[in-house]
Structure 1
Amino acid sequence: MTDWTPPSRRVPKQRAIVDRRALTEQMNDLVNEHGEKARMPVIAALREAMDAGRAELADRLLKKPSAGHDCTAGHAFLVDQVIRVIHDYVTEHVYPVHNRTAAERLAILAVGGYGRAEMAPHSDIDIAFITPMKRAPWCEQVIEAMLYVLWDLGLKVGHSSRTIADTMKMARDDLTIRTALLEGRLVWGDQATYEELRQRFWKDVVRGSEKLFLTQKLDERNQRHKRMGDSRYVVEPNVKEGKGGLRDLQTLYWIGKYTHRVDSAAQLVDVGLFTNAEYRGFRRAEGFLLAVRCHMHVLTDRPEDRLTFDLQRQVAERMNFADRPGKSAVERFMQYYFMQAKRVGSLTGVFLSHLEEESSKSKIRSGFFAGWSQKRRELKGYMVEGGRLRAPGDDWFAKDPVRLVEIFQLAEAEGLEIHPETMRQTDRDSKLINAAIRKDARANALFLDLLGGRNDPETALRWMNEAGVFGRFVPDFGRVNAQMQFDMYHHYTVDEHTIRAIGLLSQIERGLLDKDHPRATREIHKVSSRRALYVAVLLHDIAKGRGGDHSVLGAEVAHKLCPRFGLDAKETDLVAWLILQHLLMSSTAQKRDLTDPKTIEDFVGEVQNLDRLRNLAILTAVDIRAVGPGTWNSWKGQLLGELYDASQELMRLGHKRHGRAERVAAKKAATTELLGEKSHLVVQAGDILTDAYWIAEPEDIIAKNLIQYEEARRIKDHLSIHCEVDEERGATLVSVIAPDHPGLFYRMAGGIHLAGANIIDARIHTASNGYAIDNFLVQDLHAKPFREETQISRLKEGIRKALLGQGELVPKLAARPLNHARAKAFNVAPHVNFDNSASNHFTVIEVSARDRPALLNRLAHALYKANLIVQSAHITEYGETAVDTFYVTDLTGAKVLVAERLAEIEKALLEAASDRKQRLLEDA
């Protein structure tokens, strides 16, 4: 419990917020005027005062948008004054007592965030009503009357009403109550009762429980971090509860206060837990985070703590962040936000290291630090104690700044942690890294050893980044430090994404991800230079935020950095090429038809050799997986594997590869073997299915199609819909066989979407006898296959109704919500690209637009209206953006080459891809 300076002492121009004396006089006047019926006028006057105070504070926040401490203290002051007025009104006019007994004493405490005087505009008001002994009826009446007034004002009040003895008993048993009381301060009422409570709290509750409190608070913090994503660098952070947020700073203060009885964060310096510079960092981070939270509450008019994409733009504008070349205002704002979150992490390490030092001085070790060995040994001049690497002196890094790199390399190589006190030194001394150190051959060799470490380079690099050493040693990396990518696809900042990708590469090399990445696990040991691969992963996004193509700019950075790191000319060229083309493989696999020979030929023409292919495949895998949870799935793995195998075959066999006729014959032979006793179906259907069908479809799907085709011919309406989970492809295979008719594809797409499924791949075939044989791969909204019987039934019913024209398809699609409700925060301008060189037989049309359920249906409908025949469709999602690729011909089976015709198609597709729902309804 505290005796620190109340908010009233720290808030300027208080009467402009609320004038308690004038408000009290107004209450008295209302009682004199209305007598027993004064309650409603009193509440109206209080509400008017609250509204005026909030408006004043909101106006101050706009004028000083970073003044988080002023804003939160101002709101606490406003509530203080209102509670005091309410208390006096109730005790003087509603339940007056002229000569109170010893039991008729009441202290009103602000606890929790309100006690700390950190109240955002819509924070809860946490109050404790304390009586010295069993409550007298008068106390109960006053408490009840005050609460009803507060509730009538529309305030969210968290309250408790206890005696001093009950409070002590509950505080000993409940960590939450103990923490709330730790910040308790007297708002109004009986001073003696508060002082007794305060003294007993420190004597009966805190004394002897300091280590237990520390252990419980750190465990509570760790559990909270896990719930919030366990990273400071998630792109929609929780300002209050997330890692690196306000709650982490508050946890430091709670622990410091509990163990050292400080009354303010400033006193953490006096007891040696922070330096003056660190405390200034504490206040700067806290003030900024408080300001952000206040802006969010004002904008949403509710207690919103998650900094969502739509709020990020608005808060950035309110806090006066502006666009800069290559970086938008919102990206600059979020970069600053993550820099503060990073500072919070550094402060936490420093803080806990001091507590550890204090604990190590005692003979008996228990609680959080129990079992830590203090036996020391020396390692290359460093001290190793308790599994931690420690610098032997305060001037260790000043004597040789190369040690700022060496210590992280040693920690990785030896499987050691770095002592938090030494982390503090590296942070402080990181400025010693200058141009000479960056060019130092030994420093670069150590860095390269760390980057490609055999144990856990990810963790060591993250420590290096937290300490500020990484960005100073590799300034290009420093430029992307804490830089977010303002979209829904990337889950982390650029530096966090890169470090995670390096960690994944290390795990693949160590065989820890062989189940998900068997090919990469096998091929990584065959690359020509493992260190070149690690450097390529490090640099693949190094030029983001500079304006221009980050792949091209990143390749230029590689040519500059690789020789400095010690790579030879051949390795440097490989790294530069990998960065230049690091999106090529994923783009080809997900957006192009891998059964079209031209796709493979063009890809191999760019890759050229097997070593590049191996490196690119591994880089692609870790890049996709490091984007965030769920971005890697078996379908993407399947596509990349098919592209890799087909490319490897072409490189190996070259012109000796089998021609079209041989490939068709091989497919028929394989399908015949699969069908067994039904092998006659291959002969029966062989002539009516084109070579394109046999080449495009895998033999397992062909076998299923032929059995289904036989069944479809026997059905009365000749419509057969078959659905089954395809575990290997990570999707549900939906095969539809029916008599072909115009618009079949767009209707099927609409029916599938209405069933709640996303199409990720589609192949459309027409047999010579007029039957359509269409195969779709679909997933649910979580990129998983449809498995449940109810889901399968819904799929079949949706397709059947769509094909039979039962119900109005387009209005129903228009009414469905976005796959991602947050997508509205982004401006995604539709774009259409035509490529007549990507295929020998088809025009390839690529459409990118905001993702929504009706998109594929609308695009397919536009193609149908444009008299185009769709051969295959490939659908890729990048967060809020969908990229749909179609292989098409005109009605004669030829490519579309005339410029005027292409312009007409582009206009129709752009209109279909627009966000205007009214357009959908008009076409119904």
Structure 2
Amino acid sequence: MNARANIPKPAADPGKRIVRQRDIINRRTLAETIEALIAEHGITQARPKILPLLQQALADGRAEISRRLIEKPSAGHEAAAAQSFLIDQLVRIIHDIAVGHQYPVNNPSSGERIAVMAVGGYGRGEMAPHSDVDIAFLTPFKQTSWTEQAIEAMLYWLWDLGLKVGQSSRSIDEMVRMANEDLSIRTALLEGRYIWGDTGVYEESKARFFADVVSGTDRTFVSEKLAERDARHVRMGDSRYVVEPNVKEGKGGLRDLQTLYWIGKYIHRVASAEELVDVGLLTTDEFKRFRKAANFLWAVRCHMHDMTGRAEDRLTFDLQTGVAKRMRFAERTGKSAVERFMQYYFLNAKVVGNLTGVFLAHLDETHNAGVRRFIPNITRRPKKLNGFTLDRGRLALPDENFFEEDPVRLIEIFQLADKHELEIHPLAMRAARRDAKLITNKIRKDRRANKLFLDVLCSPRDPELVLRWMNEASIFGRFIPDFGRVVAQMQFDMYHHYTVDEHSIRAIGLLARIGSGDLVDDHPNSTETIKKLKNRRVLFVATLLHDIAKGRGGDHSILGAEVAMKLCPRLGLEPYETELVAWLVRHHLLMSAMAFKRDLSDFKTIQDFVSQVKSIERLRLLTVLTVVDIRAVGPGVWNSWKRQLLTDLFQAAEEMLLLGHKQRGRRERITQKKAALAETLDLPKAQFTKLVKRLTDPYWIAEPDDIIAHNARLMIHAGDDNLAISAEAYPERGATLVTIYAADHPGLFYRIAGGIHVAGGNIIDARIHTTRDGMALDNFLVQDQHCRPFAEDTQLERLKQAVEDALANRSKLATKLEARPLSHSRAGAFNIVPNAMVDNDASNRFTVVEVTAQDRPALLNELAYVLFESKVTVHSAHIATYGERAVDTFYITDLFGGKITSKARLNSLKKKLIKAAGQKEAEKTAA
């Protein structure tokens, strides 16, 4: 076989794409200067003089590339090619120094030859400012002492320039053997490009690579690259809509586009992405979108490297604002510049996903390359496909004009896919994407089209998968234009992990899974509740619409309810259903606000909630909607503590709605809890009577039976001691229960809070009690920085010791708190304006104060200190965090146990709390 047969043309020299190359680096002038220095001083003495010249050339070249990028902020390909060109010239100069002067050979043998080849992204001629420099040093045979010395000399020059070099030194035979064994080596060599040195060695290595490595291994390479891609997606979060995406490795990022090129080059031996059109893997239009998406992603990546001075590929919150500004995105009504930039980013990531699907479909059709991702499991052929056909088990089109003949089929194909649990053929998806423009107002108002859409949305099977297909094909946003407005829209905060459309689709998927009983262990109450609903489709439509008005410059709940009133009749909902959907959208945050920010043991909390909900059906609908909304925010947001709070609120509200009042009055509840405690403790009657007399009625109402028993044991164990501290894992709440039994005195709460923060804990709930004989009995629920309970003995001991030290004032609490790191390392990218609200109507007994501020270490401690200085008593504290935003709610009274009613005093308290909440931000701004 001719080793040189079927070899792709050489990849284009990146320098050919660069204008005014010598403004970046003038290799000829630099080389002449270096030659003169060597001639004058000799190579040994000239080396210290040469290195600064090369370092300056690298710095000047990078500065020029950076200047061009800022001047043309979207010119990603130009910037990437310019960086590769700059490194090329430096490598060529270094090669000539090492081979021509450091280790010269007048009459080299056949083995004393070296070819320098760029591989990987560098071989493709695409580099960000701080990308690795991937180089292969190739020799015809096993390395000689001369080749080892010359290669080592070149590497030292590159290292001294501060470049991160990924290098390999191999003979041609070694290269072939290792490429056959290792997929990553094979991929890197696939993009090998000649830089300098012996051209014969390079040409021979290239011929051997394609003859002895690539030939006959197409199917294996494709399947391995796709498996590698899938594993990378899982590692990166398996969604292209995560709000801090990895531009290089994430789903929809540069690596996905590169994977397409690698596969195309491996199978068709193309030298550039443009040639994927010539071999029929992409259309001209699709290649333009490929090129446009790649250009944008490269621009973003180059800006990130340029801004950070390092190889940073994760588009973190603190970088998003800067990149948006550099790329000249402007603010619009309802959307900040950074949100508009990120929406454009995600739209490009979506393009990458679409291209991937089309590309793989072509491979599957033309090469049977084993790229099918989902094999439908059907035991019979569906009889009624309404003109659609089956192609190897996938829903396909009989001809290219099928959608144009009846555009309602653009909805119907997805309804059939859901109904029969079929995969849609990628070429049919391509046609749907192409013909999406056929969905006009006429189609949107078509009764049959709306019924088909509603069938998909409310499917008991897997609506999440099919709706995601609809979204990928742009059909979803065309059919529901209000949804189209939130496609790829992110929210610039640390709470929401996904774009609005992705979040909504995930929430619908969770609804279906709860409805089918798949999540009974995680959501027992919702699983039981959803069975009792009279109208499930109301719940699915409300879930679709709950965030649909985000980014419009107003309260998205109110605006979303207005959207529901217009859209629901179009979808075919009855007037009463429309009203119900609108109510759910308008109040979809009500239940979580009540559960997480209010005291559920306070009768007024339940009363206020029920007064808004008004019916059992609304309560059931709102409960399930709240659960899927929270869980679909992102991994780790849902936990057992939130489940317990929502369940407690649901049960209390259900009881009040069914009976019109609490089933058991205050006195009956206290009696029941005392009886339960008596049975648990089994104390002598006199001792038990003495114990329970010390506890006030509000204590019995506020605490559940298990915590009452735990507290009682601690009090008994403490005896006459004035201090007892307990810390133990509380799995039912997903937190650690820290209980302090101590002599009550002013400032106790803020000192306890400070001690817990010093130990690395975050307080999520606190109940403050005083016994009738003047002892404090305080219960805190605590989690670590990752929202997990402290469970190890060493952690629990550290918690107890830190609280004890704080109460005994053994160390300077403020100094230790200052040393604590930020709970979120990137929280500095956000600026939350602090606010305090006072409500004397939210409770019959307490004044409720709610403080919103940027989350930071010891925020609760500082707020508690303000309350202490203001001479108020804290009875309970409820702490909710939403990414970088903290909402701390306090139930307080004056020192005599009454509500605070003085307007002057309340205004003064608000000002002090706002000042304390914003203190760190003010210090940061001043600095």
TM-score, with structure 1 as normaliser: 0.97
Match of 2:792 in 1: 788
1:416-455 correspondence to structure 2 within 5 Å: 416-455=422-461
Change (3 A) 1:382 1:626: same
Match of 1:569 in 2: 575
Q: 2:256 pairs with 240, 248, 262, which one?
A: 248
Match of 1:506 in 2: 512
1:770-809 correspondence to structure 2 within 5 Å: 770-809=774-813
Change (3 A) 1:272 1:693: same
Match of 2:347 in 1: 339
Contact 1:388-1:416 within 8 A present in 2 as well: yes
One-letter amino acid of the counterpart of residue 256, structure 2 = D
Q: CA deviation at 1:655?
A: 4.2
Residues 759-809 of structure 1 show CA distances to partners (whole Å, capped at 9, x for unaligned) of: 111111112211111111112222222211111111111111111111111
1:703-722 correspondence to structure 2 within 5 Å: 703-715=709-721, 718-722=722-726
Match of 1:878 in 2: 882
Change (3 A) 1:604 1:678: farther
Contact 1:819-1:852 within 8 A present in 2 as well: yes
Match of 2:19 in 1: 12
Residues 267-326 of structure 1 show CA distances to partners (whole Å, capped at 9, x for unaligned) of: 000000000110001001101101100000010000000000000000000000011110
Q: 1:516 pairs with 506, 517, 522, which one?
A: 522
Q: CA deviation at 1:2?
A: 5.2
Residue 464 (1) aligns with residue 470 (2): yes
Residues 342-378 of structure 1 show CA distances to partners (whole Å, capped at 9, x for unaligned) of: 1111100000000000134xxxx87979999999876
In structure 2, C-alpha distance between the alignment counterparts of 1:133 and 1:705, rounded to whole Å:
79
Residue 3 (1) aligns with residue 10 (2): yes
1:54-73 correspondence to structure 2 within 5 Å: 54-73=62-81
One-letter amino acid of the counterpart of residue 233, structure 1 = Y
Change (3 A) 1:73 1:655: closer
Residues 663-706 of structure 1 show CA distances to partners (whole Å, capped at 9, x for unaligned) of: 32333233333333456555223433222111111122222222
Q: CA deviation at 1:610?
A: 0.2
One-letter amino acid of the counterpart of residue 389, structure 2 = M
Residue 583 (1) aligns with residue 589 (2): yes
Change (3 A) 1:353 1:641: same
Q: Secondary structure at the match of 2:837?
A: strand
Match of 2:33 in 1: 26
Q: CA deviation at 1:113?
A: 0.6
Match of 2:653 in 1: 647
Contact 1:210-1:259 within 8 A present in 2 as well: yes
Match of 1:144 in 2: 152
Change (3 A) 1:306 1:367: closer
Residue 633 (1) aligns with residue 643 (2): no
Q: Secondary structure at the match of 1:916?
A: helix
In structure 1, C-alpha distance between the alignment counterparts of 2:262 and 2:499, rounded to whole Å:
30
Q: CA deviation at 1:87?
A: 1.7
One-letter amino acid of the counterpart of residue 33, structure 1 = E
Contact 1:372-1:386 within 8 A present in 2 as well: no
Contact 1:239-1:289 within 8 A present in 2 as well: yes
Q: CA deviation at 1:736?
A: 1.3
Contact 1:814-1:917 within 8 A present in 2 as well: no
Contact 1:113-1:119 within 8 A present in 2 as well: yes
In structure 2, C-alpha distance between the alignment counterparts of 1:636 and 1:584, rounded to whole Å:
14
1:867-906 correspondence to structure 2 within 5 Å: 867-906=871-910
Contact 2:117-2:137 within 8 A present in 1 as well: yes
Match of 1:541 in 2: 547
Q: CA deviation at 1:232?
A: 0.3
Residue 622 (1) aligns with residue 619 (2): no
In structure 1, C-alpha distance between the alignment counterparts of 2:833 and 2:169, rounded to whole Å:
57
In structure 2, C-alpha distance between the alignment counterparts of 1:249 and 1:919, rounded to whole Å:
45
Q: 1:208 pairs with 188, 212, 216, which one?
A: 216
Match of 1:601 in 2: 607
Residue 838 (1) aligns with residue 842 (2): yes
One-letter amino acid of the counterpart of residue 433, structure 2 = D
Contact 2:390-2:396 within 8 A present in 1 as well: yes
Q: CA deviation at 1:105?
A: 2.1
Q: 2:326 pairs with 291, 302, 318, which one?
A: 318
In structure 2, C-alpha distance between the alignment counterparts of 1:662 and 1:171, rounded to whole Å:
78
Residues 578-624 of structure 1 show CA distances to partners (whole Å, capped at 9, x for unaligned) of: 01000000010000000110000000000000000000000000000
TM-score, with structure 2 as normaliser: 0.96
In structure 2, C-alpha distance between the alignment counterparts of 1:897 and 1:589, rounded to whole Å:
26
In structure 2, C-alpha distance between the alignment counterparts of 1:745 and 1:392, rounded to whole Å:
73
Match of 1:755 in 2: 759
Match of 1:725 in 2: 729
In structure 2, C-alpha distance between the alignment counterparts of 1:2 and 1:797, rounded to whole Å:
71
Q: Mean alpha-carbon deviation: is it higher for 336-345 or for 684-693?
A: 684-693
One-letter amino acid of the counterpart of residue 112, structure 2 = E
Residue 236 (1) aligns with residue 236 (2): no
In structure 2, C-alpha distance between the alignment counterparts of 1:393 and 1:461, rounded to whole Å:
24
One-letter amino acid of the counterpart of residue 217, structure 1 = K
Q: CA deviation at 1:389?
A: 1.0
Match of 2:668 in 1: 662
Q: 1:282 pairs with 283, 287, 290, which one?
A: 290
Q: CA deviation at 1:839?
A: 0.3
One-letter amino acid of the counterpart of residue 396, structure 1 = F
Q: CA deviation at 1:723?
A: 2.3
Residues 154-199 of structure 1 show CA distances to partners (whole Å, capped at 9, x for unaligned) of: 1111111111111111111111111111000111112222111111
Change (3 A) 1:315 1:357: same
Gaps of 5+ in 2: 1-7
In structure 2, C-alpha distance between the alignment counterparts of 1:611 and 1:762, rounded to whole Å:
32
Match of 2:50 in 1: 42
Q: Mean alpha-carbon deviation: is it higher for 340-349 or for 718-727?
A: 718-727
In structure 1, C-alpha distance between the alignment counterparts of 2:375 and 2:841, rounded to whole Å:
67
Matched residue pairs, number? 914
In structure 2, C-alpha distance between the alignment counterparts of 1:672 and 1:779, rounded to whole Å:
31
Q: Secondary structure at the match of 2:287?
A: helix
Q: CA deviation at 1:409?
A: 1.2
Q: CA deviation at 1:528?
A: 2.2
Residues 537-585 of structure 1 show CA distances to partners (whole Å, capped at 9, x for unaligned) of: 0000000000110000000000010000000011001100001000000
Residue 910 (1) aligns with residue 914 (2): yes
Q: CA deviation at 1:657?
A: 4.2
Contact 2:360-2:371 within 8 A present in 1 as well: no
Match of 2:4 in 1: none
Residues 825-874 of structure 1 show CA distances to partners (whole Å, capped at 9, x for unaligned) of: 11011110111110011100001111122111111111000000001000
Q: CA deviation at 1:917?
A: 9.0
Q: CA deviation at 1:471?
A: 0.4
In structure 1, C-alpha distance between the alignment counterparts of 2:143 and 2:802, rounded to whole Å:
66
In structure 1, C-alpha distance between the alignment counterparts of 2:668 and 2:806, rounded to whole Å:
39
Contact 1:673-1:679 within 8 A present in 2 as well: no
Residues 210-242 of structure 1 show CA distances to partners (whole Å, capped at 9, x for unaligned) of: 000001000110111111011100110100001
Change (3 A) 1:679 1:790: farther
One-letter amino acid of the counterpart of residue 20, structure 2 = K
In structure 1, C-alpha distance between the alignment counterparts of 2:702 and 2:774, rounded to whole Å:
19
Q: Secondary structure at the match of 1:38?
A: helix
In structure 2, C-alpha distance between the alignment counterparts of 1:734 and 1:53, rounded to whole Å:
59
Match of 2:499 in 1: 493
Q: Secondary structure at the match of 1:129?
A: strand
Match of 1:296 in 2: 304
Match of 1:166 in 2: 174
Q: CA deviation at 1:822?
A: 0.9
In structure 2, C-alpha distance between the alignment counterparts of 1:710 and 1:402, rounded to whole Å:
73
Residues 70-115 of structure 1 show CA distances to partners (whole Å, capped at 9, x for unaligned) of: 0010011111111111222233322233333322222111110100
Q: 1:859 pairs with 863, 880, 883, which one?
A: 863
Q: 1:113 pairs with 117, 121, 136, which one?
A: 121
Q: What is the aligned-residue identity percentage?
A: 60
